[in-house]
Structure formats: C-alpha cells, structure tokens
Amino acid sequence: MRSSFRQWSPVMLAFALFARLALAAAPSAPPTPESPGLEGFEIGSTTWIYRDQMESPWLDYSWGQHSLRATNPVASGTYSISVKMGPWDALYFAHPGLDVVPGDMLVLKVHGGTEGEDAPVRVRAVIGTEQPIGVLLGPTCDGGAIRAGRWTTCRVPLEQLLSGGRTRITGLWLQESRGRALPMLFFDDIGVTHREVPPVRITVSPESAVLTPGASRTFTATVTGTNDTAVEWSVEPPGTGGTITATGVYTAPSAPGTYRVAARSHADPSQVARAAIQVVPDTNPGTGKWVSGYYTGWNADLYPPEKVDFSAITHLLVGRATPRPDGTLSTQFDNDQGPQIARTLSQRAHAAGRKALIMVGGSGEHDGWVGAASDANRAKFVQALLKALDDFGYDGLDLDWEPVEVQDRPKLLALVQALRSARPAMLLTFPIHWINTNFPEDADPWYAQLAPYLNQVNVMTYEMVGPWDGWQSWYTSALRGEQGLHPSSVSSSLALWVQAGIPKAKLGMGIPFYGLAWRHITGPYQPFTDWSDYVGGDNSFTYKKILDYSPWGTLQWDSVAQADYITFPPNTPIEDGTVRWISYDGPRAIAAKGAFAKQQGYGGTIIWTVNQGCTNPATGANPLLDAVRKAFLE
C-alpha cells in the first residue's frame, strides 16, 4: 500500500513575493471547444505571446534551462521554445497588465519530445503578487494529454486560472508541478484568443454523475450574461428518468440506465445545459461499520494465521496476488507457504462468520495491472481472478491498483464493470490515496464513477507526512488539525472525497499498526532538515517495537490532531541512538477515529497491517486490534 503526496515548491519559497502559503482550490479541468461546455463561442482576435520570438509587450522571465530559438521540432515558422524543467521550474511570460473577460482562452501547442508523455505541467496565471493554483495542462489538450513525438493543441479558459473575480493578469506560468525533473518539452504558437460570448450562458455542475436507484444528487446551474439567473429544471426522458425539484435536487429512478437533467435559462430559453446520469445497481445494501484488516504474507511470522482474532475484523484482506501483464495471476502470497496460509485464513474467517478477500496488486505492480486489464487481456484476467477466488475459497477482491494514471482509468473502470457483471454478489473493495489540502483537486470526481460497483472505498490515511520541501514535521495519521505546512488529516481527506461524489457509507479510513520514526527533529510542528531525518516506518517500527522502546521515552498526546506520539532524549539506546520521536496510532487515537466514523456516518476502516499490531506471536496478543474492536464494532 502506498500513499501519494504533493510537495511545496522550493522556487515558490525562494520567490516569496510571488507565492502564498495557503493555496486556493483548483477548478476542475475545463472542457475543450468541442465539448458542450463551449457551445456558442465564436473565435475572435488573438493576443500573441510567442511566435518565433516573444511578442511585445510580453517578456520572458522564465527560470530553468530553456531556449526561445529551438529549431527542431517546430510547429510553425522557424523557431519554438525548448525547455528542460527541473523540480518546480517554469516558463514565465510577463505582461504589464492584460485585461481578460469570460471566454478568453490561452492557446498553445506542446510537443512531448521523446519521453514527455503526459508530463505534469501546470498552467498558472500571475495576478500581481499572487498565482492561483491553476490547472494541469494535459487535460486541456486534444486527446486529454501531452503526447510524446507529436504536437498537440491545448486550450485553457483563462477564467479557470483566476480567483476572487479578478479580470487582469500580469503573466502566465507553465510550471513543473510534481517536484521532479522532466525530459525536454517544446512549446510553440502561444497566445490568448479572445472570444465573443453569447449574451446568456448557462452551465450545469456536476457535468455527470453515477448513482444507485433511488439515490439523490444536487445539481447547480450557473447563468451569466444576465441578471435573471433563474432556470427551469427537467429530466430526460420525462416520466421514466427520475425526478428533479425546482432547486436542482435529482432523485434517480428504480431502473438502471442512462438519463439526463436539463436546465433551461428563464432569460433566454434557447440556452440549455445538460448533465448525464448513469444509474447502476447498488452493490452495498448492508449497514454497519466494517473493519478490513490487511494480512500480508511477507510478515506472517509476526502474527501466525492460526492466531488471527476475527472478533475484531469483519473483512480480512489477504495479500497478495499479483497481476501479470499477460493477464495471468500469481497466487504465491509473498511467502513460501503462501497458498496454504491463504486457505487457512479463509477457512478461519468463514468459521467465524467473517469475510475474506484477496488483495490484488499493491505498490510496484502498475505495469502488471495495465497489461492484465488491457482490452486484449481483460477477459482472461477476469477469469484468472475468479479462479483464484474459487481455488482459495474467498468472497471477493481488494483491487490495489497503484498508482492510477489518467490513461489507466478506462481500463480500470472496464475491469471493475466486468468483474461485477461476471459475479454480481462478490465483494469488491478499492484503496485510494489521501489528499493534501493544498491540492484539493487531487480528490478527482472521476472515482465517483467506480464507487457504485464497489462495496468499500478505503482511503490510505497513513504516512501522511514526509521531509518534503516546505512541510513541518507532522503525524503519520492525524485525525484533525491540518494546516498549510502540515496539510494532511483523516477528516479532511475523507471530506474531500465526499465532495468528489463518493458516498460516506462507502468510505473507510486507514489506521496504521506501525509508526514513523525520526531523527534530528524532536517532535511535531518543526521544519525538516532533509531526507536523513527519516529513520523508518512500515515493516520496521511495529507496535511491538514501539512498546519495547517506550520505557526510554515519554508518551504524548496531541489533543488537536488526536494523535499519539513518543519522544526520546538525546542518545537514547534504541536503533542507532539517533531516534528522537515516533508518530503512531495507539488505543486513544484509534478510539477517536472510531467515534469520528460513527458520528460522521463513514463506513469503517482499513488496517495496514494486522500483522504489525501483534505483540506476542505465541499468544496472538494484539492490543491495537482490541482497540479497533471497541472503537468500531462495539
């Protein structure tokens, strides 16, 4: 299991005049001109930024390795811009002050070179001393991505880059956004196209939704170009497509199918916006909290399979089976005795009235997923997964596809749909990443399309900190207390996924049964030195080890974050003598998370891993599992 993170920009920290610590929420990727969201626009004049050279009064203030006179490849004319961006480098085009209106659009052509497929380039407007977070360039390009080996045209509505009603920009950035070095990219024919906007314009949000029968979703209509913002809502087809209130609350019909809601402008009835709705069968009719504990074959000796306490677990996720690119499946479960361990655990789970699922994939298995779920191999892979369920006597699958790249999404959705169709009653769960609150757009509404086919969507809310530029030391799994320099928590991550369209009842939170150990820094809320601050975590600092070290330290509790931690004086004789503090989830933190899940209506929790909570393999003592049972199941 692996969580994703986003770093602060060292360049932004160095250019304090041009940065803010608290970043605003980024708008979703804008539609292309061919999409319904831009119907009715007519192309007007263009203010060019670069065509063979910088066009006056634009100036090149870029940082990083670049050239304005690249001769190959060139989209048109004689030259293009070549740039090899390091972490957070940017092409920066400055202007004395350009007034923009709704409908104005940044247009450019981008070439991914030989290796820049879908490079993480972010487009940001400069507004005096501010730069709102902007949008990723790739989704605005033809085909939805930057492509290697060819030129692609991209169109970015400038209103997507602005904030607070601003209408005047002083520059534009094309910035590396993931903190890594990029291969050589090329840009050409960069300009701002001014568009004639219809007198009345209407949009509907969200543009699409996936719902179960009888479920509701609120749609909003935005009308511009008139003071009369009233709309008339309707459902298509009328009569059988569900119902919608005058305030935009849609209720799905009982029959699965594809439907639409429409909003018609009162001021100009010719202006209509629509949203597509897919109604799919509900796959999670049950109630109650779940405790889904991961059991991993590589550390089975920490918690022997015959000692697992099923009174504290509703679902045991046994890892792992690994997908192969040819559509076959390895079922060794990361242990010489893996197949027998897997059968023992499924038999014990069923004897206790619990469910057992096979964990498939995990960190490092991305290529296997992509090949196995391809159009050519998907049917074969589905049969291999079903055969594994039958051979080992399991109830379902935990589909641990990490990471899910944008181009992977159609394959993943098709795989989940195929599995659900092949065996409708099987259990399907899926882990997703925690969210850095400085980048709320990472809670992508696309995942709401998966949720109707899944029984659980579990957020991996652990290891939510690292010695990343601009961060302060923080807890591995804080329940609350997120702020700009430690922008992660369980509560904020879950809330952002709910906002993205995943039902609360299907969302679970992550609880680590291990800790993160640090040197140099002596506790939370401190600047990191560098990566040498990190000592260890998963598979190293188990709960048993933490308890063994506790006599040399001081147990502490952060009432704001609802987090346990332990601090040590200098030269404590543990590990290499440099460990100064360990962040972990003890019984008090687990109790707080269970109460939070019940109060807020979330579905349950995942544990990574139940093996690491065992303090005595001979007796099976697992005090953290006891705490989870009390917090979530009693």
Residue 538 is assigned to a structural domain of this protein: no
Q: Give the distance, in angstroms, between the CA of residue 613 and the centroid of all CA atoms in the same chain.
A: 27
Range 282-286 average pLDDT: 47
Could you give the number of structural domains in the chain? 3
387 in the same domain as 444 = yes
Q: What average pLDDT does the chain have?
A: 89
369 in the same domain as 255 = no
The pLDDT, as a whole number, for residue 24 is: 30
355 in the same domain as 274 = no
Three-state SS at 290? strand
- 472-494 pLDDT, tens per residue? 999 999 999 999 999 999 999 99
Choice between 329 and 270, residue whose per-residue pLDDT is larger:
329
The pLDDT, as a whole number, for residue 166 is: 80
Range 1-28 average pLDDT: 34
Residue 271: CB atoms within 10 Å: 21
**Which tokens is 176 given?**
């590396």
Residue 520 is assigned to a structural domain of this protein: no
The pLDDT, as a whole number, for residue 44 is: 59
270 in the same domain as 302 = no
How crowded is the C-beta side of 311, counted as CA atoms within 13 Å? 10
User: Model confidence at 198, in pLDDT bands (50, 70, 90)?
Assistant: low
Which amino acid, 93? F
Residue 560 is assigned to a structural domain of this protein: no
Closest CA to 47 of 215, 172, 140, 147: 172
Tell me the C-alpha distance between 183 and 288, whole Å: 49
Kindly state the DSSP code that residue 586 receives in the 8-state scheme. Answer: -
Bond preceding residue 57 cis, omega within 30 of 0:
yes
Range 304-313 average pLDDT: 96
- 337-364 pLDDT, tens per residue? 999 999 999 999 999 999 999 999 999 9
The pLDDT, as a whole number, for residue 278 is: 80
For 272, the enclosing helix (H) or strand (E) is strand 272-279
Residue 554 is assigned to a structural domain of this protein: no
Which amino acid, 196? E
Tell me the C-alpha distance between 49 and 173, whole Å: 12
Choice between 564 and 287, residue whose per-residue pLDDT is larger:
564
- Is the torsion defined by CA of 301, 307, 313, 315 positive or negative? positive
365 in the same domain as 390 = yes
User: For a pLDDT cut of 90, what percent of the chain falls above it?
Assistant: 77
235 in the same domain as 179 = no
432 in the same domain as 311 = yes
DSSP per position, 333-383: TTSTTHHHHHHHHHHHHHHTT-EEEEEEE-TT-HHHHHHHTSTTTHHHHHH
Boundaries of domain holding 83: 10-196
Which residues, 6 or more positions from 66, have their beta carbon under 8 angstroms from its beta carbon? Answer: 81, 82, 83, 84, 91
Do 429 and 317 meet the contact criterion of CB atoms below 8 Å apart?
Answer: yes
The pLDDT, as a whole number, for residue 291 is: 97
Do 465 and 474 meet the contact criterion of CB atoms below 8 Å apart?
Answer: yes
314 in the same domain as 234 = no
Is pLDDT at 500 greater than 80 in this prediction? Answer: yes
DSSP per position, 223-276: EESSS---EEEEEESTTTS-EE-TT-EEE--SS-EEEEEEEEESS-TT-EEEEE
The answer to pTM > 0.75 is no
Residue 204: CB atoms within 10 Å: 23
Range 108-130 average pLDDT: 94
Closest CA to 322 of 245, 404, 403, 388: 388
Name the domain boundary from 224, 246, 279.
Answer: 279
227 in the same domain as 210 = yes
Residue 284 is assigned to a structural domain of this protein: no
Kindly state the DSSP code that residue 443 receives in the 8-state scheme. Answer: S
Range 382-403 average pLDDT: 96
- Is the torsion defined by CA of 37, 39, 44, 46 positive or negative? positive
Closest CA to 542 of 474, 460, 611, 627: 611
Is pLDDT at 32 greater than 60 in this prediction? Answer: no
Tell me the C-alpha distance between 418 and 416, whole Å: 5
Closest CA to 38 of 166, 145, 157, 193: 157
CATH number of the domain that residue 222 is part of:
2.60.40.10
Tell me the C-alpha distance between 143 and 135, whole Å: 16
Tell me the C-alpha distance between 123 and 164, whole Å: 18
Which residues, 6 or more positions from 556, have their beta carbon under 8 angstroms from its beta carbon? Answer: 523, 564, 565, 566, 567
CATH number of the domain that residue 59 is part of:
2.60.120.430
Is pLDDT at 374 greater than 70 in this prediction? Answer: yes
The pLDDT, as a whole number, for residue 288 is: 64
Which residues, 6 or more positions from 167, have their beta carbon under 8 angstroms from its beta carbon? Answer: 99, 100, 101
**Which tokens is 574 given?**
């543990």
Closest CA to 148 of 121, 181, 114: 114
The pLDDT, as a whole number, for residue 258 is: 86
Strands 516-519 and 534-536: antiparallel
Helix %, strand %, coil % of the chain (to 5): 25, 35, 45
Range 526-541 average pLDDT: 95
The pLDDT, as a whole number, for residue 583 is: 98
Residue 363: CB atoms within 10 Å: 11
Which amino acid, 201? R
User: Model confidence at 195, in pLDDT bands (50, 70, 90)?
Assistant: low
Strand partners, 99: 168
Tell me the C-alpha distance between 272 and 299, whole Å: 59
User: Model confidence at 20, in pLDDT bands (50, 70, 90)?
Assistant: very low
Range 442-459 average pLDDT: 95
Largest CA distance in the chain: 77
The pLDDT, as a whole number, for residue 207 is: 84
The pLDDT, as a whole number, for residue 167 is: 84
Kindly state the DSSP code that residue 629 receives in the 8-state scheme. Answer: I
Residue 579 is assigned to a structural domain of this protein: no
The pLDDT, as a whole number, for residue 35 is: 30
Strongest mean pLDDT among 3-7, 171-175, 567-571: 171-175
Tell me the C-alpha distance between 150 and 75, whole Å: 9
Is pLDDT at 6 greater than 60 in this prediction? Answer: no
317 in the same domain as 210 = no
Name the domain boundary from 196, 220, 243.
Answer: 196
Name the domain boundary from 279, 299, 332.
Answer: 279
Residue 571 is assigned to a structural domain of this protein: no
Range 57-67 average pLDDT: 95
211 in the same domain as 104 = no
Do 349 and 356 meet the contact criterion of CB atoms below 8 Å apart?
Answer: yes
DSSP per position, 505-535: GGEEEEEESB-EEEES--SSS-B---GGGEE
Is pLDDT at 204 greater than 60 in this prediction? Answer: yes
Q: In angstroms, what is the C-alpha Rg of the chain? A: 26
CATH number of the domain that residue 324 is part of:
3.20.20.80
Range 567-590 average pLDDT: 93
Which amino acid, 221? A
Range 317-342 average pLDDT: 97
Residue 543 is assigned to a structural domain of this protein: no
Which amino acid, 543? Y
148 in the same domain as 191 = yes
The pLDDT, as a whole number, for residue 514 is: 98
Is pLDDT at 281 greater than 80 in this prediction? Answer: no
- 425-441 pLDDT, tens per residue? 899 999 999 999 999 99
Angle between helices 338-351 and 378-392 (to 10 degrees): 70
User: Model confidence at 196, in pLDDT bands (50, 70, 90)?
Assistant: low
